[in-house]
Structure 1
Amino acid sequence: MTTRTPCALMMVRALVIAMVFGVGMSASTLAGSAEDPQEAAHAWRVHRGAYFDSLWGVDIVGVKLVSSGWMLQFKYRVTDPEKAKELLGNHAKPYLVDEASGAKLAVPAMENVGELRQAAVPEAGRTYFIIFGNANKIVQRGAKVSVEIGSFVADELIVE
């Protein structure tokens, strides 16, 4: 017996109701109707994760609101240190772009700490992070964002 998530059960029920009553609903309408940002982020990782693993040597963990929404944390796990070098170098400035507004958020630099990102020699299996400032709380939970670091671009990430 397989287990189903509450969201999957809701989709099945909605599909059955649509079939019984002849209501025209597409699968994409059902999937996006009441989708939880955490489930949407997981679906993104399932469908797009292999691309970033094979090309960039990273497994993207996700983007989360932190510090009461004033900052965003982008986390990724290194699977191939040689391919992941560009993400951890100091030569490329990382940005997080809100796809709805086009706002480009940068990494804040603290006086005694420096930039809130890790710059090191990548190690396989280790998880790294980058913190982006979210002034005025422009980016909210469930928003689609892109992370850009030099030629690395991860688009349509869902903020958890």
Structure 2
Amino acid sequence: MDKNKTIDHQLRATWQAVAKMYNEQASKHDSTMAMAFVLLNIDQENGTPSTALGPLMGMEPTSLSRILKSMEDKGLIIRKKNPEDGRSVLIKLTQFGKDKREVSKGHVYQFNNKVKENLSEQEIETFFKVTQTINKLIAEREIYPDISSEAV
């Protein structure tokens, strides 16, 4: 099988190219793609519980903790006690974080608009259908079902 013709290879290669592109842009702003992703996932007005951020972004707690510490050091976020749950912490954007969030949002729009300029509406719809199907197959464990539960 030619690796260039496998779905997983194309997904991985494309994602790596996108990540590299975003990291190059983020580095111009003393940031990383991961930090920009966090900025875009924090509720601008109310903040977001730190425990909700990891699952929201599909990120491991250890990696997220490191990123949040770096973001706090750069003055992008602050941590506040959650008034609704004293055991948890809300991650809130500083004004500087809100400004950088707008920069990140602009880069995401620019990427999406350029891709849309080069694809038909039908191609975009097909792309979303394909990715939704892949995610559904994975979520429902239809690709690699748990063999032990099938054994009789």
Question: TM-score if structure 1 supplies the norm length?
Answer: 0.29
Q: Which has the higher contact order (CA 8 A, sep 6+)?
A: 1
Structure with the largest fraction of strand? 1
